[in-house]
């Protein structure tokens, strides 16, 4: 098969035996003329068999990101429009998210077939985050496809500095848009793109917040690493007697207080947000004999480096052990990890060890992850990053 004239050819050092869309640099022959980062290329394996077409980046550890293995499928503006239309249809027609919230993930990278692209919706504002040079290079097609699905929308795009360095592109977006107020299960939040959470809000926890909030009426609730107060505000709005949120970031604590004020139905709960490091705070709380009916532990990502997974699990172990120490007998304990390199099995093993060291018995009642607007392909588990474990602490 001859490659289309407009796409350069990239050859592999190996016989292609995987259907994973990522092909790493060590498996790829150096092209005689190196395409620009993010270029569309035709991929052939060591034996000359055509493997697919996708993004090439000679500067990235992930050299190739295959977008199609159908020789008759052209990657062009129409392709991006069809992919994004399918992603939106999943959210609107199958998941029916518009009935629940005006804040949801529109495109979830490999889970929706566009490697290195994340799009979040906050009302009429769409926030686009680039994780690959390929998605960035074809941004005009992406923006046009989004505007076709969300007529009249505003679009703001960005990429983290470490991504730009790894993927070898430069993007200096205009100033971040003003915060917008979104609604989720009847509860209002301030989404601030470019600040506390990169795209503006942690929509991935929507279903987890809703599930837990149905079980807090009349309870005392502790939200550790509370960020902008998602779980805490839900708890206060759903009838908790007392809510305490703790976070080390002063900026997010200020936003959490604003989010609380956005919800008059939360006023009946005795709620306070504390700016503190959870490690000494938990030790002091345990020394004072404090204990709570519901405890949530939702820390930020611990590492992006595979060499740092063991230290990350040690930190998870320490904080979970301390959090279990302030759980009342029979308490609900919700613990989370958004570190993609930490798998579910490893996270559950960490929880087992934390319970042992805390001398508590933990009964796991629900294991979950991100909401369904964060789909992942069975053969691409890297898109499945959030682990959620809901437990009862029996003694």
8 A C-beta contact, residue 23 and residue 63: yes
Position 197 scores a pLDDT of: 62
The Cα 42–Cα 144 span in angstroms is: 25
Sites in the chain below the pLDDT cut of 70: 1-5, 196-198
* CA–CA separation, 298 and 204 (whole Å): 12
From CA 258, how far away is CA 365, in angstroms rounded?
Answer: 33
Angle, helices 230-237/206-213, rounded to nearest 10 degrees: 30
pTM, rounded to two decimals: 0.92
Region at 95 (left for phi over 0; alpha for psi -120 to 50; beta for the rest): alpha
Tell me, what's the pLDDT at 321? 98
What distance in Å separates the CA atoms of residue 115 and residue 66, rounded to the nearest whole number?
Answer: 8
The per-residue pLDDT for 198 is 66
What pLDDT was estimated at residue 189? 96
Q: Dmax over Cα atoms in the chain, in whole Å?
A: 73
- pLDDT at residue 37, rounded to an integer: 95
Cα angle vertex 102, ends 229, 172, to 5°?
Answer: 75
pLDDT score for 174: 82
**Structural domains of the chain, ranges and CATH numbers in brackets:** 9-68 (2.30.130.10), 77-167 (3.30.750.80), 202-393 (3.40.50.150)
Contact 275, 250 (CB under 8 A): yes
DSSP H helix total and E strand total for the chain: 10, 18
CA distance 243 to 197: 22
Contact 373, 95 (CB under 8 A): yes
């Amino acid at each position: 098969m001859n490659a289309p004239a407009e796409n350069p050819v990239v050859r592999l050092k190996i016989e292609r035996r995987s259907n994973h869309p990522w092909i790493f640099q060590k498996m790829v022959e150096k092209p005689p003329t190196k395409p620009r980062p993010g270029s569309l290329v035709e991929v052939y394996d060591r034996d000359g068999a055509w493997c697919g077409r996708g993004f090439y980046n000679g500067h990235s550890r992930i050299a190739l990101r295959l977008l199609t293995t159908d020789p008759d499928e052209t990657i062009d503006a129409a392709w991006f429009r069809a992919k994004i239309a399918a992603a939106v249809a999943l959210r609107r027609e199958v998941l029916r998210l518009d009935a629940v919230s005006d804040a949801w993930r529109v495109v979830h990278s490999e889970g929706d077939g566009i490697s290195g692209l994340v799009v979040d919706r906050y009302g009429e504002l769409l926030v686009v985050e680039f994780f690959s040079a390929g998605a960035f290079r074809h941004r005009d097609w992406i923006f046009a496809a989004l505007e076709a699905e969300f007529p009249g929308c505003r679009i703001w795009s960005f990429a983290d500095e470490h991504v730009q360095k790894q993927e070898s592109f430069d993007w200096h977006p205009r100033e971040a848009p003003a915060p917008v107020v979104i609604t989720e299960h009847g509860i209002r939040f301030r989404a601030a793109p470019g600040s506390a959470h990169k795209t503006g809000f942690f929509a991935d926890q929507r279903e987890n917040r809703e599930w837990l909030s149905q079980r807090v009426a009349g309870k005392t609730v502790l939200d550790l690493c509370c960020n902008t107060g998602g779980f805490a505000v839900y708890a206060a709005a759903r009838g908790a007697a007392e809510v305490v949120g703790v976070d080390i970031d002063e900026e997010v604590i200020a936003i959490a207080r604003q989010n609380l004020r956005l919800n008059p139905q939360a006023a009946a709960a005795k709620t306070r947000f504390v700016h503190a490091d959870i490690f000494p705070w938990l030790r002091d709380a345990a020394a004072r004999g404090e204990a709570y009916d519901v405890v949530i532990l939702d820390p930020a990502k611990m590492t992006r480096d595979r060499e740092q997974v063991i230290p990350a699990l040690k930190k998870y172990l320490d904080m979970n052990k301390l959090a279990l120490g302030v759980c009342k007998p029979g308490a609900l304990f919700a613990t989370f990890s958004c570190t993609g390199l930490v798998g579910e099995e490893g996270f559950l093993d960490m929880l087992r060890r934390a319970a042992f060291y805390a001398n508590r018995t933990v009964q796991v009642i629900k294991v979950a992850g991100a909401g369904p607007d964060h789909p992942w392909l069975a053969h691409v588990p890297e898109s499945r990053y959030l682990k959620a474990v809901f437990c009862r602490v029996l003694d």
